[in-house]
Amino acid sequence: MSRKRTVVLISGRGSNMTALIAAASDPSYPAEIVGVISDRANAAGLGIAQSRGIATKVVQRADHPSKDAYDAAVDAALAGFGADIVALAGYMRILGRGLVEKWQGRMVNIHPALLPAFKGLDTHARAIRAGVRIHGCSVHFVTPEMDDGPIIAQAAVPVMVGDNEDTLAARVLKVEHRLYPLALGLVAEGKASMEKGHTVLAHFADDADNASSVVMAPDPLREETDLEQLARITP
Ligand code: GRF
């Protein structure tokens, strides 16, 4: 099986990108990371990618006269890398409809919330304000509407008493780093595909590992002490 050539789009830290690069360093992983594109020249992730021997390219909005011209430059960079799949990982721009539709079914994103809840920014602060007991992250196919595409896989974490935005973000980020490689793997293997606006998952009956990868709940959720925390029992 040929590995799917995957390009990661970032804007900053690049910890999810790093998790994808690490997963793809296993030759049996169905995707290889062939390039990283950033819209910011100072994105920390660029240095990490380079240190792992991955080619990088900066495509900045300010260097292009219009949004369409910017999108065309991103598309040209993707073509330059020979991309089969595009993985957005902390990429802070909304790509235009034309580009997204061209890549539909082959472009995925990770969002730090259990979609369709908490689309957009500041998801962890909003989850705490809303008082949800369970939060998490989602990997989804990208469609023109922001954070709206069909869900491929999700991971849940508890919201603990005393959590603040940072502690909750850190707990979610940890599972992001496990979920994204799993979800990209499913897409690269053709086990998750987008059809008529929905995610179609291949039959997993003979593949127990993948069957459990579409939803992940960390062990603490199964422990009674944490369930008490979840319920926020007050004396
Ligand atoms: C992650 O929380 C991701 O879900 C969101 O932006 C953050 C990017 O972090 N889209 P990193 O750059 O992958 O470290």
Q: Is 14 annotated as a binding residue?
A: yes
Q: What is the mean pLDDT of the chain?
A: 91
- Looking from the CA of residue 15, the nearest atom of ligand 1 is 14
Q: Are 130 and 141 a contacting pair, CB within 8 Å?
A: no
User: Annotated binding residue at 109?
Assistant: yes
Amino acid code (one letter) for 99: L
Q: Is 136 in the pocket of ligand 1 (CB under 6 A)?
A: no
Percent pLDDT > 70 in the chain is: 86
User: Where does residue 29 fall: left (phi above 0), alpha (psi -120 to 50 degrees), or beta otherwise?
Assistant: beta
Report whether pLDDT(233) > 60: no
Tell me the average pLDDT across 64-80: 98
With a 6 Å cutoff on the Cβ, whether 96 touches ligand 1 is no
The model's confidence at residue 234, banded by pLDDT at 50, 70 and 90, is very low
- At 85 the three-state DSSP class reads strand
Structure tokens at 224: 């009674």
Tell whether the model's pLDDT for residue 143 goes beyond 50.
yes
| Phi (first) and psi of residue 212, to 5 degrees | -90, -5
Pick from 91-95, 139-143, 224-228: least confident? 224-228
Strand partners, 134: 158
Residues 212-232: pLDDT tens digits? 556 666 555 544 445 555 455
Q: Which residues are CB-neighbours of 72 under 8 A, at least 6 positions away?
A: none
Mean pLDDT of 137-143: 98
Nearest atom, ligand 1, residue 173 CA:
2
- What DSSP element (H or E) covers 208? helix 208-211
Q: Is the CB of 110 under 6 A from ligand 1?
A: yes
pLDDT at 1: 73
89 lines ligand 1 (CB under 6 A): yes
Q: Is 78 labeled as ligand-binding? A: no
pLDDT for 7 beyond 70: yes
What does the pLDDT read at residue 208? 60
